[in-house]
């Protein structure tokens, strides 16, 4: 273990397409930690809602839907695979149709309650890097290290566009920009667990940093946090 025996919880939050998952995955790999992309869980609920044509504002229908949903994450070769009722949905949850509804689905307290409970169980053994919107504020307010990523809009659009292109998904930059702005607005203005920077989070502007540079900054912060914890043990 390159960083000693003490395991910590690392929370990475921020706006869509700032590079949270890429950084969280690389950091977890370097620390030999588990990486959990919590957005995948909200995406899986959204896929279920679309597949079953559920009106998300119908409280009873949503409660029934949630009782019929089982979301499971598995980890294969350092990559997270998302399962919805025993079906591998890792690719399906990344489709643009999910982006249209996921922020609305994520405003629902009933959904958040279920997801947060499951996410907290994953952190029981520490040694975890979890990325999302409310990880440092709600899921793990006691996280040992909290990072909050921000990035310029034009760069986020470019990043998301390239990501979709690689997957063969055609979307215009204008569509992507509108969707990102809409999701920023919904994610940060919802009543339950809005996206915001935790007071004790370190902000990283990823606009002009390469993935390697971001990883080095995060890794150095993680190492010094781990060393401090070890000194206190």
Question: In this chain, which of 103, 137, 151, 206 binds ligand DC, going by CB under 6 A?
Answer: 103
Task: Check: CB of residue 58 under 8 Å from CB of residue 76.
Answer: no
CB of 230 to ligand DC, least distance (A): 29
Using rule CB under 6 A, residue 90 touches ligand DC: no
Binding mask 113-152 for ligand DC (x = CB under 6 A): -------------------xxxx-----------------
CB of 228 to ligand DC, least distance (A): 26
Sign of CA dihedral 73, 74, 78, 80: negative
Using rule CB under 6 A, residue 106 touches ligand DC: yes
Q: Which of residues 25 and 183 has its CB atom nearest to ligand DC in the complex?
A: 183
CB of 1 to ligand DC, least distance (A): 28
CB of 29 to ligand DC, least distance (A): 19
Distance CA 15, CA 188 (A): 9
Distance CA 139, CA 19 (A): 20
Neighbouring CB atoms inside 10 A of 4's CB total: 12
Centroid of chain to Cα 105: 15
Q: Which of residues 8 and 11 has its CB atom nearest to ligand DC in the complex?
A: 11
Q: Give the helix/strand (H/E) hosting 48.
A: helix 39-51
Q: Which of residues 47 and 226 has its CB atom nearest to ligand DC in the complex?
A: 47
**CB contact burial 118-136 (16+ within 10 A = b; e otherwise):** bbeebbeeebbbbbbbbbb
Residue 60 region, left (φ>0) first, then alpha (ψ -120 to 50), else beta?
alpha
Question: In this chain, which of 19, 39, 123, 136 binds ligand DC, going by CB under 6 A?
Answer: 39
Question: In this chain, which of 31, 183, 222, 225 binds ligand DC, going by CB under 6 A?
Answer: 183
Residue ranges in contact with ligand DC by CB under 6 A: 16, 38-39, 42-43, 102-103, 106, 132-135, 183, 187
């Amino acid at each position: 273990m390159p960083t000693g025996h003490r395991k910590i919880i690392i929370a990475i939050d921020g706006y869509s397409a700032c590079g949270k998952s890429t950084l969280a995955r690389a950091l977890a790999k370097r620390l030999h930690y588990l990486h959990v992309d919590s957005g995948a869980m909200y995406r899986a609920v959204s896929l279920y809602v679309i597949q079953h044509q559920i009106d998300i504002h119908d409280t009873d229908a949503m409660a029934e839907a949630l009782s019929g949903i089982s979301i499971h994450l598995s980890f294969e070769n350092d990559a997270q695979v998302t399962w919805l009722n025993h079906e591998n949905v890792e690719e399906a949850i990344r489709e643009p149709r999910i982006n249209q509804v996921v922020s609305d689905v994520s405003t629902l307290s009933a959904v958040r309650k279920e997801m947060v409970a499951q996410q907290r169980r994953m952190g029981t053994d520490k040694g975890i890097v979890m990325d999302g919107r409310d990880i440092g504020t709600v899921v793990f307010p006691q996280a040992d290290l909290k990072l909050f990523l921000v990035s310029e809009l034009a760069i986020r659009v470019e990043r998301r566009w390239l990501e979709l292109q690689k997957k063969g998904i055609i979307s215009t930059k204008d569509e992507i920009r509108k969707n990102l702005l809409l999701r920023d607005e919904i994610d940060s203005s919802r009543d339950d667990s809005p996206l915001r920077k935790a007071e004790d989070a370190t902000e990283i502007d990823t606009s002009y940093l390469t993935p390697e540079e971001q990883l080095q900054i995060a890794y150095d912060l993680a190492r010094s946090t781990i060393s401090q914890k070890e000194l206190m043990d």
